[in-house]
A and B are shown apart, each in its own frame.
Chain A
Amino acid sequence: MKLLIYDRDITLSDSVKEKYDRVIFADGRYAPCQGCFKCWTKTPATCVMKDSLHEMCRIIGLTDDLVIVTENWYGGYSPVIKNILDRSIGMSTPMSTYRHWQMHHVLRYGRYNSARIYVTGDISDKEKETWKLMGQRNALNWGVSDVEVIFSDPFSDGEGADL
């Protein structure tokens, strides 16, 4: 499955939508993670908060190729995107393993192929370095084989034709 998650309130062209199996606009109309771990221990792969992110971990978990478009916030994701990622830890299981000699969780849905992260907005050189590290860390955490962080705005043409 190919998934696009983006945080800009913009109308995507049909040609962009056709490239993806699922397109999610991060509208921010959902609660942040409460850190209860119940998506592991009580209702696996389901968040106990019943809003639009209730089953988001299943969608991200089943993804083979993930594309994220996020505004830069201090070298990390925008809050609306980060909220989605925080609420999706159910895509792994609570059991632990080693990846690259470091502790990580066993993935519920196995590894996925690629993640491409477009970072938009004003960004300093130091923040770019943070982003590069973030991309590598996320790839390990999520079990992504190939991760790419791109500092350019795919919506610069108004409808995201580059995506």
Chain B
Amino acid sequence: MKTVFIDCSPKKRLSASGFIMGLTELFVLGKKKNEKLRTPADHERILSEISDAETIVFSMPLYVDGVPSHLLPFLKKMETFCREHNKTFNVYVIANNGFIEGKQNEPLMRIMENFCDRSGIKWCGGLGIGGGVMMNVMRILLVVFLGIAVLRTILSLINEGSFFPVRPWIVFGNQILEVLALGCGIITFDIWFANCINRKKEYGKHYTRIMLPSFVFIICADLFFTIISVFQGGIFRGWFSRKKPTE
């Protein structure tokens, strides 16, 4: 059984879609291949990669309540490809969105289901994840926290000659637990999703999220964008102003 995973985020690096796709892949058995779909130059390569696949997993961000625009021309080409070659893929979709409610991915899921109907391939369901940006930030922070723990270990080796200082690793352990607690819904639903892929079963449509009350999530999101806007300078360039078109 060959499964092709397609990361459909337009981001070159560090996309939430790529991360959740990688996590899913850990639990999927058999031959696996990863693809990145950003530009039309990727289309032919991906079509040739899927030609001998049994299962295709699309992972993508929600853009304005639907699929990102750059993905649509690929779907059209794939529809033609499937019809011409009588393909019968199993298609699964993982979508992540910025807002906390994973349910906001519903129109995207329906579009992907309609795409499968038109292509004559099997819609096997999708997982919608709310709070995708936070999920992405958390996994990056975990790497940073690991770096800090290693650094503190090296420093204690140099300063105190202690080979294994317990304190930095207790702190890091706590940080892992916190991330796991916030991500427990995502991890559980994702393992179930991967299990369905392995058993070629229909998953249905399920939605999960970062495990935070939405008002706390909103405060975190506002803080996040404020900090980035300070660093990138947007806050000083009419952050909220009702700018008029210049031409």
Contacts and interface: CB of A to CB of B under 8 A. Distances in A.
Interface of A: 32-38, 40-46, 55, 58-59, 61-62, 73-80, 82-83, 85-86, 89, 93-98, 102-104, 108-109, 124, 126-127, 129-130, 133-134, 137-138, 141
Nearest to B244: A58
B65 A134 contact: yes
B73 A79 contact: yes
Contact of A79 (B10, B72, B243): B72
Interface of B: 9-11, 15, 61, 63-70, 72-73, 75-76, 99-101, 104, 106-107, 110-115, 117-118, 214, 217-218, 221-222, 225-226, 228-229, 232-234, 237-247
A93 B237 CA distance: 13
Given A86-B64, A96-B221, A96-B222, A32 B239 contact: no
Given A40-B225, A41-B232, A82-B66, A62 B75 contact: no
Given A45-B243, A124-B117, A77 B234 contact: no
Contacts, number: 160
10 contacts: A33-B10, A35-B11, A37-B225, A41-B225, A58-B243, A74-B75, A76-B107, A82-B69, A102-B104, A103-B101
B246 to A, nearest CB: 6
Contact of B111 (A38, A97, A130, A141): A130
B66 A134 contact: yes
A58 B67 contact: no
Nearest to A110: B242
A44 B243 contact: yes
The winner among A34, A59, A74 for most chain B CB atoms within 10 A is A74
